[in-house]
Structure 1
Amino acid sequence: MVIDLKNMEEKAELLKVIAHPIRLCIVRGLWKNGGCNVTHMQCCLDVPQSTVSQHLGKLRQAGVIEGERNGLEITYKLKDERVKSILACLFGEEELENNQEEK
Structure 2
Amino acid sequence: MENITNEMAELEEKAEILKALSHPIRLCIVKGLMEEEGCNVSKMQYCIDIPQSTLSQHLAKLRNLNILEGNRNGVEVNYYVVNEDAKKIIRTLF
TM-score exceeds 0.5: yes
Is 1:53 aligned with 2:56?
yes
Q: Give the superposed CA RMSD.
A: 1.3
Alpha-carbon distance in 1 for matches of 2:23, 2:38: 19
1:14 corresponds to which letter in structure 2? I
1:88 corresponds to which letter in structure 2? R
Counterpart of 2:88 in structure 1 is 85
Q: Aligned-pair distance for 1:39? A: 0.5
Paired residue for 2:21, among 18, 22, 28?
18
Higher Cα Rg, which structure: 1
Greater RCO, CA 8 A, separation 6+: 2
- Name structure 1 gaps, 5 residues minimum: 92-103
- May I ask how many residue pairs the two structures share in their alignment? 90
Counterpart of 1:43 in structure 2 is 46
Alpha-carbon distance in 1 for matches of 2:87, 2:62: 14
Normalization by structure 1: what TM-score?
0.82
SS at match of 1:77: strand
| Aligned positions of 1:64-83 closer than 5 A | 64-83=67-86
TM superposition outliers: structure 1 runs of 4+ over 6 Å:
none
- Name structure 2 gaps, 5 residues minimum: none
Q: Aligned-pair distance for 1:9? A: 1.3
Alpha-carbon distance in 1 for matches of 2:64, 2:12: 16
